[in-house]
Structures are given as structure tokens and as C-alpha cells.
């Protein structure tokens, strides 16, 4: 696990871009942190690096958003903050977004801890005073940050 100090939203977007580099279709990225910690900011940086054009905004009121990169790769962005205990309906919803062909980012994953598959990488953002955040990145076993860049082109 590596922890990096972010001094502002641009730093957090850049960290998102770094984490995006080795991602492959089917990979799940869990993004944890308190309100306003910068989860969506991190995902925005990752999505833009993957080649998603246009705005990447919080899906809080729609649970999930689907994007395509310029190269045609599917990208899912979920925010489970408003999800209560998972019912079968919500489980189906996860299945719609967490497909083998999509790179998926999930904010507030704890809500669905039981239902989510093993992530490729876990990201935790912590407030560290003012605009500072500590951003921890933990790749699943056998996968490291130096993996070849696959989707970015
Ligand atoms: N170092 C930083 N990293 C990320 N965001 C920062 C930082 N410093 C200040 N900010 C600001 O904090 C806010 C973070 O908002 P963001 O929506 O990314 O958080 P979030 O964790 O997704 O919140 P929520 O829990 O509501 O989903 C933004 O307004 C951003 O500009
Ligand atoms: Mg958010």
C-alpha cells in the first residue's frame, strides 16, 4: 500500500490518473472516504485519464453512471451512499454496472461489502486539514503500480 499527500483537488485528480493507468476491463476500484474527502474528484481524474470525455460528476442521485472512453471501453461510476440494505433489486443494479467489459469505480462501497466482487485496487481518502488529503492506494495481490499501461492511448 502506498499513501500520498494530496494538497488540492488537482493532486487528487492526478493520483486518480496514476491509478487508472494499469486498469483493465472488468477491474473494480473501491473508493472510500468521508463526505467531501475527494472520492468523486479522484474518480474524475481516473476517468479522464482512461479517455472519458466531458464532465464526470457525482452519481449520488442516480446511483450509477456509465461512460465510454474514446477507445470504446465501458466505464461505470457508482455511488452507493443512498443505498440501504441491499435488496435483490439493488443486487441486479450492481450486475448492470459491474460487467466483465467495464472498468468500475464504486464510492461508499461498504454499503454493499457482501455483494461486491474482489476489487483490483482499494483507494482510501482521508481529510488531513484544509485542502490536504492522504490518499492510500492498495492493489490486489500480484498487481502493482508498475503494471503496463493498457487502456490509455
Ligand atoms: N486535496 C483535495 N482532494 C480532493 N478534493 C479536494 C481537495 N482539496 C479540496 N477539495 C475539494 O473538496 C471537494 C471534494 O468533493 P468530492 O465530491 O470529490 O468528494 P466526495 O468524497 O466524492 O464527496 P461525497 O461523499 O459527497 O461523494 C471538492 O469541492 C474539491 O474541490
Ligand atoms: Mg462523491
Q: Give the separation between CA 117 and CA 25, rounded to whole angstroms.
A: 14
31 CA distance to ligand 2 centroid (A)?
Answer: 9
Give per-residue pLDDT as tens, 99-113. 999 999 999 999 898
Domain membership of residue 39 as a residue range: 2-139
Tens digit of each residue's pLDDT (9 = 90 or more) over 23-75:
999 999 999 999 999 999 999 999 999 999 999 998 766 789 999 999 999 99
Q: Is residue 46 part of a domain?
A: yes
Supply the residue whose CA is at minimum distance from atom 17 of ligand 1. Answer: 40
Under DSSP, the state recorded for 37 is: S
Residue having the nearest C-alpha atom to atom 10 of ligand 1: 9
Strand partners, 6: 133
Read off the CATH number of the domain in which 119 is found.
3.40.50.300
Q: Is 11's C-beta closer than 6 angstroms to any atom of ligand 1?
A: yes
* Calpha distance 15→4 (Å, rounded): 8
CA distance 76 to 65: 6
Total structural domains within the chain:
1
Amino acid at each position: 500500500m502506498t499513501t500520498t499527500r494530496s494538497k488540492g483537488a488537482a493532486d487528487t485528480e492526478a493520483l486518480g490518473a496514476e491509478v487508472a493507468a494499469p486498469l483493465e476491463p472488468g477491474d473494480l476500484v473501491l473508493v472510500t472516504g468521508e463526505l467531501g474527502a475527494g472520492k468523486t474528484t479522484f474518480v474524475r481524474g481516473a476517468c479522464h485519464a482512461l479517455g472519458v470525455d466531458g464532465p464526470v460528476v457525482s452519481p449520488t442521485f442516480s446511483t450509477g453512471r456509465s461512460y465510454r472512453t474514446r477507445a470504446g471501453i465501458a466505464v461505470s461510476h457508482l455511488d452507493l451512499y443512498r443505498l440501504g440494505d441491499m435488496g435483490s433489486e439493488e443486487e441486479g443494479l450492481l450486475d448492470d454496472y459491474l460487467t466483465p467489459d467495464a472498468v468500475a469505480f464504486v464510492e461508499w462501497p461498504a454499503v454493499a461489502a457482501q455483494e461486491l466482487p474482489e476489487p483490483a485496487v482499494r483507494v482510501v481518502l482521508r481529510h488531513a486539514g484544509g485542502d490536504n488529503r492522504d490518499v492510500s492506494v492498495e492493489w490486489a495481490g500480484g498487481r502493482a503500480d508498475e503494471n503496463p499501461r493498457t487502456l490509455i492511448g
